[in-house]
């Protein structure tokens, strides 16, 4: 299964944690798809944690951008001392078309 961003259009993050895009299905049609990033990303003491949950509950300044052709999620994540730490994660490290819901 390929990374979602290779066939995606109109990729964005809404509400700080809902990844939305239009993905091409097997018939070549583009369909709306989404993935709640809070279900697969956590905050481990100021670092994004794949397999964790609820990162947005302890984050600020959440933003999504492409760096080259790589989909990057950036945020300031709070550590256990309450300090906001700049963090980023490449979403194509783990997300593929099967992880998004049409």
Q: Would you list the DSSP string of 43-90?
A: ESSSSEEET---GGGGEEEEEEEEETTEEEEEEEEE-TTS-EEEEEEE
Domain count, the chain: 1
Average per-residue pLDDT in the chain?
A: 90
Domain that holds residue 73: 4-99
Please tell me the distance from the alpha carbon of residue 99 to that of residue 34, in angstroms, as a whole number.
Answer: 9
Q: What is the mean pLDDT of residues 71-82?
A: 98
0.75 exceeded by the pTM? yes
Q: Report the CATH number at residue 8.
A: 2.30.60.10
Q: What is the mean pLDDT of residues 49-66?
A: 97
pLDDT tens column, 2-28:
456 667 899 999 999 999 999 988 899
């Amino acid at each position: 299964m390929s990374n979602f961003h290779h066939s995606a259009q109109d990729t964005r993050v809404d509400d700080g944690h809902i990844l939305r895009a239009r993905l091409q299905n097997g018939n070549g049609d583009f369909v709306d798809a989404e993935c709640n990033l809070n279900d697969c990303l956590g905050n481990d003491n100021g670092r994004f944690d794949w397999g964790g949950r609820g990162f947005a509950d302890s984050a600020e300044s959440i933003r999504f951008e492409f760096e080259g052709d790589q989909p990057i999620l950036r945020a300031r994540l709070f550590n256990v001392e309450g300090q906001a730490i700049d963090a980023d994660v490449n979403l194509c490290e783990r997300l593929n078309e099967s992880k998004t819901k049409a």
